[in-house]
A and B are shown apart, each in its own frame.
Chain A
């Protein structure tokens, strides 16, 4: 019998089957983000999702890096790992690799994911562990007080680019879609709580590495980053499909709809690269991509079984 690392026997440790959790049960410390920060909306959507999915708090782990958004685990009452700048994904992979029984989320900022941790972002996409990765992209380093980030649009002024960013911001959506084994790539915006919720729900349902980019403002430094999109519904385009992300109310507000099959990788890449509109929804999904912890699953052995094999191995080296 194949048992994943950790094994199902762990799940029962002291739990009652009839427990249930409300949103408040997932609330950790009081958030210390600035008023108006998009992170608040994401936190609320995540707590709502945990309640709706009834994720046992002790079997749920939020791993983060460093930056404003990476304080996220402290504000959840689940297990959390607030680690190093750029390194949320290796830690999350390590947790999932040996404990597939846990629900693992990784929360990162744009500097975290696309700059200092870019290597891990590419390679974790390729490993495709069953993790929900949330990239809160406000186009700026906020916690260190206003430096240019890899996703800052060209011309954005900051303390490290006082005359405006010289390079175009990178495109995290098309980059992720391009990676071998990419299995889920979606985009949403912090001003649309229902769309955040629907996107994260879809991401949690997906088996594999779900990459969700959340466009958001930093009220302190990039308050106007998506002002156009918020003011003018015409600047937003919804990606719609029966297999995609659907929020019917929003479809009335945002009239630009593109019918896009998330299985179509070439079209997904084209839509991600095409300028002019903020596109929200599911760009790409491949449910058949191999999942790393399943590829690496091996039957567990008891100490006695291990000892027996070990002694056979030592026999091979015997004088």
Chain B
């Protein structure tokens, strides 16, 4: 992938505005900023505040974390790079874009890391800490010089910033202050509302002393002042005030508040990246709502406690990532077998095994659908945006209860940590359904009183007189009595499976993005929607006949897929997940390992769906998808 060659040229520099001595104001419809430091220097914090302030001012915003797996890897090494990309736009932004137009780098090594990943646009403006160039340590001076040679030849525009020197005028340990100084510079460049930034600092440091808040605000102001005095440019991404009320949050926060809005009162979890921040947020606020986060001794106990609570009438959720999901499999099978409502959130990361703990992938799809030994029909759904992260929790709980089944919500590290504004959800009290239905049970009521057609039945909850029965993971009849007879086992399977058919019939066919027939249909799911649609737009602008389709329900699959697929000459899945390229050595049509969504769609529709998947440990860039679309056009390029 060489996105820098396909990205747009950097914003054109206009001639200096009317005021002869003022800075040039470069007006652009969108701009992508990266802030990178050594892990522990606070670039994350700086970027989060910058992103939130930008979103709250009304810019379209999408942020992506750049995060090492360790807390503090060796400083001044490329893998230590930690920070964030923030893509700002006048219009809503749906993905992280291709390459950065402006970078704030705390040293040249972390900058190199981004450069080597092709994350910097040709002509990118780079504001960099200047102390390393003249550092007293000769090795560091050499490293700087070598890095500068490597960075040469890409039209990067360097602005050297004496971050340390400036911060030392206010604080003793600049490692703890540079990030706010940098936030000040960015606030100047992008004309951010400084009062809002101060407010956000006060909120983010609310658990620290007033001195800490004041020091950080002073550093912000210092950065702003320095930029005002030293920079000869500003960048304007015009703001179009949104017409409806909006909120700004990342996907994990949306999952957490969405869980609360759904009326669930227990999140039982075990710490795992990148799911944990949802439970941090919940731990902070859940008790105000009568809910709790239970941190269990392991992933298995976490789901066990959730199932216990659910059995007792309080539908609960658990939140995990791939390795945790693997450990929960046996309990998920039990929940399906006993028809216990349960919501499981899997915030996907790179796999297999420990894989890429902090980075995005979409490779748990088949494991979530088929990961339980035995036939265990249940629901798998995938939000595509932060807004859907919020909304899907109530949907998930409703389905789990109405269908007495397990609902797995698949998000990923990109959604989890990305910040995006979205219309404020209009939650009403009936979303927050009463957590317990203890309406009387008639004597002799059956715990699995399956409706012969739909397989649906009413759940009996402990505390209800006359309803006493024993749940079991063994094969059982309507009375929950252990039964090994062939006809009873067959019927139990039919009833559990039938519910999925009933649910599927209530789903809407997916909407095609673009014309509903043509040469190529790109199919995706989860966090890639924005990047895919942006790439489709670019391809259509070139005259290519391409549309896309994004799935929310993966099990059962949404209706009408075969009919939609037939209207296109070719169907291609795009996923952040591994699949063999067609022309790889030894790979034939006979042995090619296709993408996970491809497996599903081929089996489901009998259409010869092709695939393209990559595992870069970062979100897909629209440019890469655009290039892929060109390569996969059924009639060749154009």
Q: How far is the CA of A48 from the CA of B610 in the complex (A)?
A: 66
B291 interface contact, C-beta 8 A: yes
B298 to chain A: which residues have CB within 8 Å?
119
B58 to chain A: which residues have CB within 8 Å?
319
Q: For chain A residues 1-29, which have a beta carbon within 8 Å of chain B?
A: 5-6, 10-11, 13-15, 28-29
Q: How far is the CA of A101 from the CA of B429 in the complex (A)?
A: 26
Chain-A contact segment, one of B168-176, B220-228, B466-474, B553-561:
B466-474
Chain-A contact segment, one of B34-42, B240-248, B517-525, B567-575:
B240-248
Q: For chain A residues 269-319, which have a beta carbon within 8 Å of chain B?
A: 296, 298-301, 303-304, 306-307, 309-311, 313-314, 316-319
Contact with A along B273-305 (1 / 0, CB 8 A): 000000000000101111110101110111111
A98 interface contact, C-beta 8 A: yes
Q: Are A306 and B468 in contact (CB under 8 A)?
A: no
Q: Are A303 and B427 in contact (CB under 8 A)?
A: no
A14 to chain B: which residues have CB within 8 Å?
440, 464-466
A11 to chain B: which residues have CB within 8 Å?
463
A63 to chain B: which residues have CB within 8 Å?
308
A207 to chain B, nearest CB (A): 19
A120 interface contact, C-beta 8 A: yes
Q: How far is the CA of A92 from the CA of B421 in the complex (A)?
A: 41
Q: How far is the CA of A93 from the CA of B268 in the complex (A)?
A: 11
Chain-A contact segment, one of B310-318, B358-366, B630-638:
B310-318
Q: Are A314 and B290 in contact (CB under 8 A)?
A: no
A90 interface contact, C-beta 8 A: yes
A82 to chain B: which residues have CB within 8 Å?
470-474
- Name the CB-closest residue of B to A86: B300
A9 to chain B, nearest CB (A): 9
B150 interface contact, C-beta 8 A: no
Q: Are A318 and B472 in contact (CB under 8 A)?
A: no
Q: How far is the CA of A123 from the CA of B301 in the complex (A)?
A: 10
B214 interface contact, C-beta 8 A: no
Q: How far is the CA of A63 from the CA of B310 in the complex (A)?
A: 14
B438 interface contact, C-beta 8 A: yes
Q: Are B429 and A94 in contact (CB under 8 A)?
A: no
B263 to chain A, nearest CB (A): 7
Q: How far is the CA of A311 from the CA of B431 in the complex (A)?
A: 13
Q: Are A87 and B467 in contact (CB under 8 A)?
A: no
Q: Are B308 and A91 in contact (CB under 8 A)?
A: yes
A10 to chain B: which residues have CB within 8 Å?
436, 438, 463
A73 to chain B: which residues have CB within 8 Å?
470
B257 interface contact, C-beta 8 A: yes
Q: Are B432 and A303 in contact (CB under 8 A)?
A: yes
Q: How far is the CA of A301 from the CA of B288 in the complex (A)?
A: 8
A220 to chain B, nearest CB (A): 20
B288 to chain A: which residues have CB within 8 Å?
301, 309
Q: How far is the CA of A97 from the CA of B481 in the complex (A)?
A: 27
Total contacts A to B, CB within 8 angstroms? 221
A214 to chain B, nearest CB (A): 21
Q: For chain B residues 60-102, which have a beta carbon within 8 Å of chain A?
A: none
**Given A90-B305, A97-B294, A99-B314: A307 and B429 interface contact (C-beta under 8 Å):** yes
Q: Select one of A89, A102, A299 contacting B462, CB under 8 A.
A: A102
Q: Are B308 and A93 in contact (CB under 8 A)?
A: yes
Q: How far is the CA of A222 from the CA of B192 in the complex (A)?
A: 77
**Given A310-B261, A317-B247: A299 and B438 interface contact (C-beta under 8 Å):** no
Q: Are B300 and A87 in contact (CB under 8 A)?
A: yes
Q: Are B433 and A303 in contact (CB under 8 A)?
A: yes
**Given A82-B473, A310-B427: A319 and B246 interface contact (C-beta under 8 Å):** yes
B266 interface contact, C-beta 8 A: yes
- Name the CB-closest residue of B to A100: B312
**Given A58-B465, A301-B289: A98 and B314 interface contact (C-beta under 8 Å):** yes
A59 interface contact, C-beta 8 A: yes
A191 interface contact, C-beta 8 A: no
A296 to chain B: which residues have CB within 8 Å?
292, 294
Q: How far is the CA of A298 from the CA of B294 in the complex (A)?
A: 13
B464 to chain A: which residues have CB within 8 Å?
13-14, 58
B306 interface contact, C-beta 8 A: yes
Q: Select one of A62, A80, A94, A316 contacting B308, CB under 8 A.
A: A94
Q: Are B470 and A81 in contact (CB under 8 A)?
A: yes
Q: For chain B residues 308-334, which have a beta carbon within 8 Å of chain A?
A: 308-314, 316, 330-331, 334
Most buried by A among B265, B468, B474: B468
B307 interface contact, C-beta 8 A: yes
Q: Select one of B309, B469, B472 contacting A95, CB under 8 A.
A: B309
- Name the CB-closest residue of B to A299: B290
Q: Are B473 and A58 in contact (CB under 8 A)?
A: no
B425 to chain A: which residues have CB within 8 Å?
314
Q: Are B266 and A98 in contact (CB under 8 A)?
A: yes
Q: Select one of B263, B308, B438, B482 contacting A90, CB under 8 A.
A: B308
A83 interface contact, C-beta 8 A: yes
A298 to chain B, nearest CB (A): 5
Q: For chain A residues 41-87, which have a beta carbon within 8 Å of chain B?
A: 56-59, 61-63, 66, 73-74, 76-84, 87
Q: Are A303 and B469 in contact (CB under 8 A)?
A: no
A96 to chain B: which residues have CB within 8 Å?
308
Q: How far is the CA of A311 from the CA of B331 in the complex (A)?
A: 35
Q: Are A90 and B301 in contact (CB under 8 A)?
A: yes
Q: Are B314 and A79 in contact (CB under 8 A)?
A: no
**Given A119-B297, A317-B247: A306 and B260 interface contact (C-beta under 8 Å):** yes
Q: Select one of B203, B304, B310, B316 contacting A87, CB under 8 A.
A: B304
A112 to chain B, nearest CB (A): 13
Contact with B along A99-121 (1 / 0, CB 8 A): 10110000000000000000110
B249 to chain A: which residues have CB within 8 Å?
317
B313 to chain A: which residues have CB within 8 Å?
6, 98-99
A72 to chain B, nearest CB (A): 9
A291 to chain B, nearest CB (A): 14
* Chain A positions near chain B (C-beta within 8 angstroms): 5-6, 10-11, 13-15, 28-29, 56-59, 61-63, 66, 73-74, 76-84, 87, 89-99, 101-102, 119-120, 122-123, 296, 298-301, 303-304, 306-307, 309-311, 313-314, 316-319
A/B interface sample: 8 pairs, CB < 8 A: A62-B470, A80-B468, A97-B294, A99-B314, A296-B294, A301-B290, A303-B430, A313-B257
* Chain B positions near chain A (C-beta within 8 angstroms): 55-58, 203, 242, 245-249, 253, 257, 260-261, 263, 265-266, 268, 285, 287-292, 294, 296-298, 300-314, 316, 330-331, 334, 421, 424-425, 427-430, 432-434, 436, 438, 440, 462-474, 481-482
Nearest 7 CB-CB pairs, A to B? Answer: A94-B308, A90-B304, A80-B470, A123-B297, A94-B305, A319-B246, A91-B308
Other A-B pairs, 7, CB within 8 Å; known A10-B438, A57-B468, A94-B310:
A13-B440, A91-B308, A96-B308, A99-B309, A314-B257, A314-B424, A319-B245
